[in-house]
Amino acid sequence: MIHITRRERFCAAHMLRNENWDDQKNLEVFGKCSNPNWHGHNFELFVTVKGEVNPLTGFVINLKELSRLIEKKVIQKLDHKNINLDVDFMAGKMASTEVLAIAIWKQLEAGIQEMGGILHCVKLQETENNFVEYYG
């Protein structure tokens, strides 16, 4: 078994806000991330797949195909979008990095299995100081 990781990037707007709370409570919990006019980030996404090396190719998985899958299922839906408003697979969810990473996992898991790999980790980096990792 070996792990292979592909990095992709997207730029998106979001806000952190619990609609059951008033502005004051949202500000207390989420600070400046609750700005009702939005803010945004350059997100970096690292998708790690594990599997056996195919002796015909030397590959666990073809990275071109993995990149196309991530592009179709994740990047096209998130890049230059508003995570709270524009993204079907985030509808009704908190737009935190944690929740987004879990949702990205669900977007990718089946497609990676069809390609013969096993999704191992979704890492999502929001700023140079903050990132999350989800292992399913």
User: Under rule CB under 8 A, how many of the chain's residues touch its own copies?
Assistant: 62
Q: Three-state SS string across the chain, please?
A: CEEEEEEEEEEEEECCCCCCCCHHHHHHHHHHHHCCCCEEEEEEEEEEEEECCECCCCECCCHHHHHHHHHHHHHHHHCCEECCCCCHHHCCCCCCHHHHHHHHHHHHHHHHHHCCCEEEEEEEEEECCEEEEECC
Our finding on whether 45 is near its own copies (CB under 8 A) is no
**Residue listed under structure tokens 């690292």:** 46
Q: Site for its own copies (CB under 8 A): which residue of 35, 89, 111, 115?
A: 35
**Which lies closer to its own copies via its Cβ, residue 64 or residue 106?**
64
Q: Site for its own copies (CB under 8 A): which residue of 27, 75, 99, 118?
A: 99
**Which lies closer to its own copies via its Cβ, residue 97 or residue 107?**
97
User: Is 121 designated active site?
Assistant: no
What residues from 53 to 92 belong to the interface with its own copies (CB under 8 A)? 53, 55-60, 62-64, 79-82, 85-86
Our finding on whether 113 is near its own copies (CB under 8 A) is no
Cα distance between residue 109 and residue 127, in whole Å: 25
Q: Which residues are catalytic?
A: 33, 80, 126
Judged by the rule CB under 8 A, the positions of this chain that interact with its own copies are: 1-9, 11-14, 16, 18, 29-33, 35, 37-42, 48, 53, 55-60, 62-64, 79-82, 85-86, 93-99, 101-102, 127-135
